[in-house]
Chains A and B, each alone.
Chain A
């Protein structure tokens, strides 16, 4: 439990680090000293009008989503002028719709929504907007721009590109021709998975490489383990492997260790604490991971607060928060892992 609290402190610190990074040019505060919000250049963090921020996200059956909910709550708690009102997380579309409806009825000042499915939640987000509540769309995008005020999320295509560049450059450097490059996807039917794969393939193409084989797991440790065990059998010699998701990566790494294989380079995805520690130790094939950081939830809460209080982002010229913010996918390697450890989430 104490460890949990300590970790929360870390996450909060990370969130502040990220936010100060984009709103001020002052050197980022050390994570450990981040119990209170670091001062922004413009005084945006000074208490303003009291606002109620509603929050709805899928059930946390996965480390990444669990970190989303935690980060949102931790960030909201930093502000005395924010009342955080989360609704029961659920994986049922129908229930999420009614949860959002209840927040609309409660007349919150702003809504942060990570929908189970953007398409299916679009209607209710539109209702909120029509009722005059600004919607901050987190990650999974609503198809209708009328439905939300601002979107903030990760870059799935960019994640694939980052992984592709790391692997491409590595293999080029080694001078491998016709490398065997494997890919373990998450849930194959999701658009986000398809975007990641496309980015990966496109980046590899610039090196003249292509993916030899890909299989989909289901974002869980167990499916990652099964798929990896099979792929290792199918390919006696592998040059590189990209695994889309660090949560399922625990199972992938277990399979690789069990098969006693170490002839290739592995890159992960998302940026979990486990993966970072593995990269730091340098004891396994996992050399890098490309981020899709759940710190975006912290930033979403900050944006919701600014929008509800009618403030803009202090580093930008505009008076209002931008309509869309796409986070860059960053590549974590042994060289820079130190800096990212506080942002890692527990899978």
Chain B
């Protein structure tokens, strides 16, 4: 298991190394600068937080298609004029509660309502976006000047790095600990690997499944705060297609869609590969369509390589 993990990560590091070399060759003056690295990390932070939650759900044998929509809903709810009256702290708490609440609904539908995760979270995707549009009257809601403490997450820097990157790092570390050093984490692998065996081993599979979706929702709530900080707005258009980016990052990172196997570090490396590609394309002034093609190819190649590795180890 750990050898398998290392081998997978090795491939990801090689890919990242290659992309960095491409960057150094094509844009020597702009690529390896502190500000560019900081810019990439800030870009990765929002979706990175979501990816951590998505990793848990997928290792637990599920899928969450609603992450982008939940993030949008949380950002809108937290930036309505009514919420903004209570100040930045309440806005942040609001985003987290809305995210977790929506995740909990997903969890209840999947675990106790026996809906297939794909369908339950697809329904949430559509409904949460609709609700976000209704709440915001389809407008972009600016964060008012009195609440700029939220925006400071993005503008205030500690050691030259915006605060929101620290939030991202903290979520990754906490996620790693939760997955690798706690009973909750071991249960997640067990539930995803073989739910029947997990049940016989005395794990409350339904309850655990529900908690996994709530955790994913929580991550979306945190991500909503970060996107609010970056864009100075809440909007129903935030997080469009994030679910696909998050799932792609998790898959490239070596997590099996069937559940039971995977790592947080892998997912984050997968995400960094995507972020690097976006960065390289913008730096070199290339067009977005080619970027999409490159990303598609990388998903396929990553999965093919992983399958080969898997066979060799067996």
Contacts and interface: CB of A to CB of B under 8 A. Distances in A.
Interface string B232-245: 11011111100000
B279 interface: yes
Given A66-B138, A222-B240, A229 B42 contact: yes
Contacts, number: 104
B301 interface: no
With a 10 A CB-CB cut-off, give which of B231, B283, B288 has the most chain A CB atoms: B231
Given A222-B227, A222-B238, A236 B39 contact: no
Nearest to A70: B137
Interface of A: 4, 60-63, 66, 188, 213-216, 218, 220-222, 225-227, 229-234, 236, 247, 250-251, 254-255, 257-259, 274, 346-347
Interface string B18-31: 00000000010110
A221 B282 contact: no
B182 interface: no
A233 B31 CA distance: 8
- Give the 6 A-B residue pairs with the shortest CB-CB distance, closest first: A230-B282, A220-B237, A213-B285, A233-B36, A234-B283, A254-B232
Contact of B236 (A61, A213, A226): A61
B142 interface: yes
Contacts of B138: 60-63, 66
A149 B232 CA distance: 43
Contacts of A229: 39, 42-43
A251 B162 CA distance: 17
A221 B234 CA distance: 9
A188 B138 CA distance: 23
Nearest to A188: B288
Nearest to B151: A254
A188 B231 contact: no
B30 A347 contact: no
A258 B155 contact: yes
Contacts of B289: 188
A220 B238 contact: yes
B272 to A, nearest CB: 15
B282 A231 contact: yes
Contact of A250 (B36, B232, B283, B285): B232
Given A213-B285, A221-B238, A234 B27 contact: yes
B84 interface: no
A221 B139 contact: no
B139 A63 contact: yes
B83 interface: no
B278 interface: yes
B309 interface: no
B208 interface: no
B147 interface: no
Interface in B272-294: 278-279, 282-285, 287-289
A68 to B, nearest CB: 12
11 contacts: A63-B139, A222-B227, A222-B231, A222-B237, A226-B278, A229-B42, A229-B43, A236-B30, A247-B140, A254-B151, A254-B231
B154 interface: yes
Nearest to A89: B138
B204 to A, nearest CB: 38
Interface of B: 27, 29-30, 33, 35-36, 39, 42-43, 133, 137-140, 142, 151, 154-155, 162, 227, 230-233, 235-240, 278-279, 282-285, 287-289
Contacts of B35: 233, 259
A251 B227 CA distance: 10
B39 A233 contact: yes
Question: Dominant SS at the A interface?
Answer: helix
Contacts of B232: 250, 254
Contact of A220 (B30, B240, B279): B240
Contact of B235 (A188, A214, A220, A233): A220
Contacts of A220: 235, 237-238, 240
Nearest to B230: A225
B234 to A, nearest CB: 9
B70 to A, nearest CB: 15
A255 B154 CA distance: 10
Contacts of A251: 230-231, 233
Contacts of A254: 151, 154, 230-233
A71 to B, nearest CB: 14
B231 A221 contact: yes
A158 to B, nearest CB: 25
Nearest to B129: A61
A289 to B, nearest CB: 16
Contacts of A66: 137-139
A96 B162 CA distance: 45
A221 B233 CA distance: 8
Given A221-B140, A230-B278, A233-B283, 4 more contacts: A220-B237, A250-B142, A258-B230, A274-B142
A221 B237 contact: yes
A218 B240 CA distance: 10
B154 A258 contact: yes
B32 to A, nearest CB: 11
Contacts of A230: 39, 43, 278-279, 282-283
Nearest to A227: B282
Nearest to B133: A61
Contacts of A221: 140, 231, 233, 235, 237-238
Contacts of B236: 61
Contact of B231 (A215, A250, A346): A250
B162 A258 contact: yes
A280 to B, nearest CB: 15
A225 B27 CA distance: 22
Contacts of B287: 188, 216
A225 B231 CA distance: 6
Contacts of A218: 240
